[in-house]
Structure 1
Amino acid sequence: MTKDTAMFDLPDPETLYHALTARDPSFEGRAFVGVTSTGIFCRLTCPSRKPRPENCRWFGTSEAAAEAGFRPCKRCHPSGIAAEGEAAVTALRAAIEADPGRRWSEADLEEMGHDPSTIRRAFRRHFGMTFLQMAREARLREGARRVASGDAVIEAQLDAGFESASGFRQAFARLFGHPPAAMRKGAGLVADWIDTPLGGMIAVADDEALHLLEFTDRKALKPQLARVSRAAGGQVGLGQTSVTRRTAEELEAYFSGDRARFEVPVAPHGTDFQNRVWAALQQIPAGETRSYAQIARAIGQPTATRAVARANATNGIAIIIPCHRVIGADGTLTGYAGGLWRKQKLIAVERSYGPRS
């Protein structure tokens, strides 16, 4: 296997040990340490006391560590998504799903026996947003669905748990670029909300292809929606198409470990150069990574590394056009427009796809 196609080659032990002592998040999901003195294996970000270098064994996957006879740490839960190891986080996410229209407060958390500051840090660490922000996102999602189904805006606002119509419209306008009433009748494009383990996403599609797929908390979402709307000759409506439903189904299968490749047709909105970069990204198999320089060579412009990086950052169809598979030339995870924490988790998800893809 050549270096261009190698899957997450581990650096030397000295580099890994430095990352362990620094709790470097750039190695999340890409390296694990087995401690011979305890028989336990951990994430490199584990808060436990650090072992001596001579007691460390390094693994590229949690499965490899387990096969070598090490037991998973009960503090960092290296065998699964880190958030699943925190009972409070799991319980509160379930509470949001059970009652998405509820208006939560820190007083509610205290009544449940939680320290709001601890919960705030835990949710930011795992999801890049606080619990209250996640709850507000869920209310907005419910409101969007009610508007899309034809309900009056005021009814949707009340169902979504917003105390005032203006509050609902303002939140909606920040997300979509215009108030909810303006989205009742779209032209050819419609927007739908898709839930994923990494947060809500907005999918914009017509009956032929997916035009946009982005996380709802990304700052670039509003201008991206505006650009797609202009290209369509008007505002984007709310609703579903066969393409948005297929997108949701393929994303669910991807996160469940059952789909390494996406087949939903895409229609990205970019320049000729950007489209060439995005096409090259789609050729990277799940479980593998490339550097910006390798992508530049792949499109026949080896000196265009910085331009490739800019095109990567402006990708408007997240996950399906896998810009998260591009890392630094030194093997470290570089920035990701959807949040570095999401990039870490996406690469961890794709670990299992490597041999099959």
Structure 2
Amino acid sequence: MMPVTDRIEIQKYYRALLAKDPSYVGIFYVGVKTTSIFCIATCRAKKPKFENTEFFRTVKDALDAGYRPCKICRPTENANEAPKQVIDAIRISTENPKIRISDALLREHQISPEIVRRWFKKNYGITFQAYQRMYRINQAYQELKTGKTIMDTAFDNGYESLSGFAYTYKKIVKKAPSNYSNDNLILINRLTTPIGPMFICATEQGICLLEFVDRRMLETEFRQLQNLLNGVIIFGENNHILQARVEINEYFAGKRTIFTVQLHTPGTHFQQAVWDCLKTILYGEVTTYKQQAEKLNNSKAVRAVARANGFNRVAIIIPCHRVIGSNGQLTGYGGGLARKQWLINHEKIIINHRC
């Protein structure tokens, strides 16, 4: 946990804070020393004096420094939610998946390409154009599966030549379009929650990953998932992601205690048994790694159970946050112990309100 220390960067962020600049939403979080709260760039609250501010790059850093989320701008919920111009750019792109959305077209809709570019680079690590290409290739992949010819698919998706389509397809999917039947696309998208943004991945079979975007080893998880499923991750959306988005929102709203979305969780036989055991822990309750091992008829496998829990790639839906140490203390959680405590408290509050 470290605040931003570069003086020039701090001054730039403070000016953006005073201007309520939406292009800096998710770029920094400001901690106010006099109130111990932290905010996003567009917060409507009275602006603090420069000497009373500290700037952080992630929600986790601000939380670790002891700051509480502002109740006005709700930084953990809105931290990396896209500014309106980015939302509009994504909407135009998804409504017109076969059209390349150029900078000129964005400007025609009063959208700044610079704001869109900065947000995508910060939050996805890719350009908006790369994001569009992935969506177009996913669209093409779905059409090839229906039996549509490669030529028709290429030209109907806006490509001017077969070679251009084949080059882009192979660059993204790692295989030629003629081998589409052997492809296993893993679609990835993003959602916001009251405790921070998350990445969500799904195959045709179901959800295969749901993790907070600042989770340690996330890149390693992506590589492992692609190896296990012999697939490639590209940006897109399917019915499993749409359903999970609804169910996750209902969970945080206190309206859902059981998830019904299908899962696709590759792993060893032991890992599968441990994850199935996790799914039997009732909403609002907690158990220990020892109790989990005993339930699996292997009381000596406590460490192995804990390790398998750590390999769970589907947070919240497979509720590893409901497992604590035998001494009652919180132990490892990929999203951070603060989030683990929040989730446990959230469920207890909902249960108590229903009693």
Query: Could you list the runs of 5+ residues in structure 2 that have no partner in the other structure?
Result: 1-16, 31-40, 142-184
Please state whether the residue corresponding to 2:246 is helix, strand or coil.
Answer: helix
Contact 2:120 2:126 in 1 (8 A): no
The corresponding residue for 1:49 is none
Amino acid at match of 1:302: S
Matched, 1:114 2:48: yes
Report Cα offsets for 1:255-305 as digits up to 9, x if no partner. Answer: 111111111111112222111111100000011111111111111221111
Distance across 2 between alignment mates of 1:135 and 1:159: 20
Alignment of 1:217-236 (within 5 A): 217-236=214-233
The corresponding residue for 1:196 is 193
The corresponding residue for 1:336 is 333
Alpha-carbon RMSD across the aligned residues, in angstroms, is: 4.2
Alignment of 1:42-81 (within 5 A): none
Distance across 1 between alignment mates of 2:347 and 2:335: 17
Contact 2:287 2:322 in 1 (8 A): yes
Q: 1:242 to 1:171 in 2, by over 3 A?
A: closer
Amino acid at match of 1:203: I
Amino acid at match of 1:249: V
Q: 1:171 to 1:198 in 2, by over 3 A?
A: closer
Contact 1:101 1:160 in 2 (8 A): no
Matched, 1:172 2:115: no
What is the aligned length? 257
Amino acid at match of 2:284: G
The corresponding residue for 1:307 is 304
Distance across 2 between alignment mates of 1:246 and 1:103: 26
Matched, 1:253 2:250: yes
Alignment of 1:119-158 (within 5 A): 124=64, 125-126=67-68, 137-139=80-82, 142=87, 150=97, 152=101
Contact 1:169 1:180 in 2 (8 A): no
Report Cα offsets for 1:315-350 as digits up to 9, x if no partner. Answer: 100000000000010112122110111111100111
Contact 1:101 1:159 in 2 (8 A): no
Report Cα offsets for 1:68-96 as digits up to 9, x if no partner. Answer: xxxxxxxxxxxxxxxxxxxxxxxx9xx79
Distance across 2 between alignment mates of 1:349 and 1:138: 22
Please state whether the residue corresponding to 1:196 is helix, strand or coil.
Answer: coil
Amino acid at match of 2:47: G
Distance across 2 between alignment mates of 1:260 and 1:103: 30
Distance across 2 between alignment mates of 1:299 and 1:262: 22
Q: 1:243 to 1:298 in 2, by over 3 A?
A: same
Distance across 2 between alignment mates of 1:108 and 1:170: 17
1:183 to 134, 154, 157: 134
Please state whether the residue corresponding to 1:137 is helix, strand or coil.
Answer: coil
1:170: Cα distance to partner? Answer: 7.2
Amino acid at match of 2:124: F
Please state whether the residue corresponding to 1:214 is helix, strand or coil.
Answer: strand
Distance across 2 between alignment mates of 1:327 and 1:252: 25
Query: Could you list the runs of 5+ residues in structure 1 that have no partner in the other structure?
Result: 1-91
Please state whether the residue corresponding to 1:189 is helix, strand or coil.
Answer: strand
1:113: Cα distance to partner? Answer: 1.6
Distance across 1 between alignment mates of 2:279 and 2:193: 20
1:241 to 238, 241, 248: 238
Matched, 1:272 2:208: no
Report Cα offsets for 1:9-44 as digits up to 9, x if no partner. Answer: xxxxxxxxxxxxxxxxxxxxxxxxxxxxxxxxxxxx
Contact 1:153 1:181 in 2 (8 A): no
Distance across 1 between alignment mates of 2:336 and 2:282: 21
Q: State the structure with bigger RCO (CA 8 A, min sep 6), 1 or 2.
A: 1
Contact 2:281 2:322 in 1 (8 A): yes
2:203 to 206, 216, 221: 206
Distance across 2 between alignment mates of 1:262 and 1:351: 17
1:161: Cα distance to partner? Answer: 7.1
1:174: Cα distance to partner? Answer: 7.9
Alignment of 1:289-308 (within 5 A): 289-308=286-305
Amino acid at match of 2:285: E
Report Cα offsets for 1:100-133 as digits up to 9, x if no partner. Answer: 7758677988995225636758655447xxx999
Distance across 2 between alignment mates of 1:174 and 1:289: 39
Contact 2:82 2:119 in 1 (8 A): no
The corresponding residue for 1:287 is 284
Distance across 1 between alignment mates of 2:233 and 2:243: 19
Distance across 2 between alignment mates of 1:352 and 1:103: 29
Distance across 1 between alignment mates of 2:217 and 2:259: 23
